[in-house]
Each structure stands twice: as C-alpha cells, then as structure tokens.
Amino acid sequence: MREPVLVILAAGMGSRYGGLKQIDVVGDNGECIIDFSIYDAILAGFKKVVLIIRKEHKEAFDQALANKISPFIKVEYAFQDMDDLPEGFTKPEEREKPWGTTHAILACRHVVNQPFVVINADDYYGRQAFKTIYDFLLNEVSDDTYGMVGYVISNTLTDHGTVSRGVCEVKDGYLDKIVERKKIKKEDNKPYYEDSDGNWHQIANDNLVSMNFWGFAPSIMDHLQPIFARFLKEEMNDNPLKCEHVIPTAIDELIHHHNVKVKMLRSNDTWYGITYKEDKENIMRSLARLKAEGKYPPSLWQK
C-alpha cells in the first residue's frame, strides 16, 4: 500500500498580505494556520508532509514549523525554483512573481511518488476534509480519477477585499467544469465575480468552489508538464513578468480533453484564511474558539 502524502503549497509571496503569511502566528501558543492543517492531517492518518517553499525561506520554515512537527510526522522540502522551467524556456531577468500553483506542484515531482493531497499553507480547511481525502487516496484514486474537496462559496469569502476562487460545476458527483475567477467579492452577504469586461455577476451562495484541496495520483505530473510548457509558449511573450498558471485551469483542461475524472467531495465546514492583513484578527478569534471548545489542545505539539 502506498501511504498518501500531504503536500503543502507554501512558496507564495504574500503580496496582498504584505509578508510571509504562511508562517505568520495566529494561534495563542505560537501556531500558524499550517500547524492546524498538519495536526488535522496526522489525525486523519497522514505520516509524511512535503512543504513546497522558496529555497531562501527554508531556515524560517525550519524554525517556525519543521523543528516542532518532525517528532510527529516526516518532513521533506521541495523548492519552487523560478528557473525550473521546461527545456527551451528561460525566466525573464526582471520577473519576481512565481509561475503559479501548477508550477508549484511540479516542483515536487522528484519527491512525491505516492497518492497525495495538495493544500494551501494559509488556509484552514477543517478536520473532516482531511479524513475524507485520506480515505479517497487510499481506496479510490487512480491514474484517471482524482478528487477534490469543494467548499460552499459563502463560507470562503472575506470582508476585506476580493479573492480568487475556482468556481465549480458538478455533474453526477464529478467535477464538470471549473473556472478561475480572479475577483470575487461579498456584497450584502452575497458573492459576486467580475468578468473580463469589468461587469459583476452574482454567484449562488451554495455554489462549490475550489480552495486548492486536491487528491492526486502521481500521474498528475505527466499531465501537468506539457500543459505548463504550452502555457509558457502562449503567454511568455504577452505577459512575461506576471503570467501564471493555476491548478483549476489545468484540471479543467484534463477533464475536457484528457478523459480525466475528478470526484467531487464536499465540505460544509467554514474555511478560514488570510488574504489580507485585516483577516488575521478574525482567524485568531476563530482558532481560539476551537481550542476553547476542545477541538484542539492548548498546545498542538506538546507530547
């Protein structure tokens, strides 16, 4: 049996947040959001975590995270290197922005050869999602059938600005379509997205969205490499400094052109995350409340 692996995307720059939000402290005992995700993953059965980071951040991650969790779960790093591009492509000298989450997953192609779940470092997903995806990875994932835990959109918005979400359409229990909406806002407790012409459209409150909680077989790497190479060929000339390719866009292509199925696994938990500095106070209150309710111990990593 190939034990499922937890893969965490933690190489973002936090430009809207204004700092390395992946390891910013939000818990009353020095915890980051990522601590709670790893704690929940261990309870679900995961025994190994791969942190995808920028190489220059390794010492910070060692001190803030890896040193304290290593007695409980095996920790490995994969580095998202801006120069790690397909043959024939070179990073523009002035580019600072990472290439997106598709490229981030490819950063661990030499480290991960088991079924794996991909999550964001700065999102709190709730415990049930990890149990659901662990069971899926053990029993159902295959080279042509992946999984995704979707969240109700009204449970994923912030009061402090717009967010980016992969808006999902589901058919017969499988993902039928996913569209990355770059700007989604909450207005009168209803979600709206902005189209390419600047017009705003309402989204149903119970519509499922992707929060980057994916269950994959290792075969995903073989799919993503040509997709990412084609993206570079098409976009490098037009937007060399800011173009990026994201997982929802890759998955939508696999569904419609490569006979890949993605089973839709639903979560009704409230998502907590930090997109803006102003989000931090809310998530600190929410995590403190979960501790007070006994869902987490006062100190997550005390033996």
Reported as a single tens digit per residue, the pLDDT across 138-194 is: 999 999 999 999 999 998 888 888 888 989 999 999 999 988 898 999 999 899 999
Residue 111: partners with Cβ closer than 8 Å, 6 or more residues away:
50, 76, 78
User: What pLDDT shows up at residue 23?
Assistant: 87
Residues above pLDDT 90, as percent of the chain: 76
User: What pLDDT shows up at residue 115?
Assistant: 98
The rounded distance, in Å, linking the Cα atoms of 179 and 169 is 9
Confidence of residue 13 (pLDDT cuts 50, 70, 90): low
Q: What is the DSSP track for the chain?
A: ----EEEEE-----TTTTS-GGG---STTS--HHHHHHHHHHHHT--EEEEEE-GGGHHHHIIIIIHHHTTTSEEEEEE--TT---TT----TT--S---HHHHHHTTTTT--S-EEEEETTEE--HHHHHHHHHHHHHT-BTTEEEEEEEEGGGS--SSS-EEEEEEEEETTEEEEEEEEEEEEEETTEEEEE-TTS-EEE--TT-EEEEEEEEE-TTHHHHHHHHHHHHHHHHTTT-TTT----HHHHHHHHHHHS--EEEEEEE-SPPEE-SSGGGHHHHHHHHHHHHHTTSS-SSTT--
Confidence of residue 256 (pLDDT cuts 50, 70, 90): very high
pLDDT of 15 > 60? The answer is no
Confidence of residue 135 (pLDDT cuts 50, 70, 90): very high
pLDDT of 132 > 60? The answer is yes
Report the pLDDT averaged over residues 241-261: 93
- Nearest to 208, CA basis, from 285, 263, 253: 263
Confidence of residue 14 (pLDDT cuts 50, 70, 90): low
Which residue has tokens 């058919």? 171
Q: Is the pTM for the entire model greater than 0.95? A: no
The rounded distance, in Å, linking the Cα atoms of 216 and 35 is 22
pLDDT of 1 > 90? The answer is no
Report the pLDDT averaged over residues 108-127: 95
User: What pLDDT shows up at residue 173?
Assistant: 95
Query: What are the angstrom distances between the C-alpha of 83 and each of 90, 182, 226?
Result: 7, 25, 17
Interior CA angle at 100 toward 3 and 219, to 5°?
35
What average pLDDT is seen over the chain? 92
pLDDT of 282 > 90? The answer is no
User: What pLDDT shows up at residue 278?
Assistant: 79
User: What pLDDT shows up at residue 247?
Assistant: 92
Report the pLDDT averaged over residues 97-126: 95
Q: Looking at the chain, how many residues does it have?
A: 303
User: What pLDDT shows up at residue 195?
Assistant: 92
The rounded distance, in Å, linking the Cα atoms of 30 and 158 is 23
CA gyration radius, the chain: 18
Report the pLDDT averaged over residues 130-140: 96
User: What pLDDT shows up at residue 273?
Assistant: 80
Reported as a single tens digit per residue, the pLDDT across 45-80 is: 999 999 999 999 999 999 999 999 999 999 999 999
Reported as a single tens digit per residue, the pLDDT across 74-93 is: 999 999 999 999 999 999 99
Beta bridge partners, 120, equal 9
Report the pLDDT averaged over residues 14-25: 67
Q: Which domains does the chain have, with CATH numbers?
A: 5-150+210-246+270-292 (3.90.550.10)
Report the pLDDT averaged over residues 8-26: 74
Whether the Cβ atoms of residue 146 and residue 215 lie closer than 8 Å to each other: yes
The rounded distance, in Å, linking the Cα atoms of 109 and 218 is 8
The rounded distance, in Å, linking the Cα atoms of 16 and 133 is 30
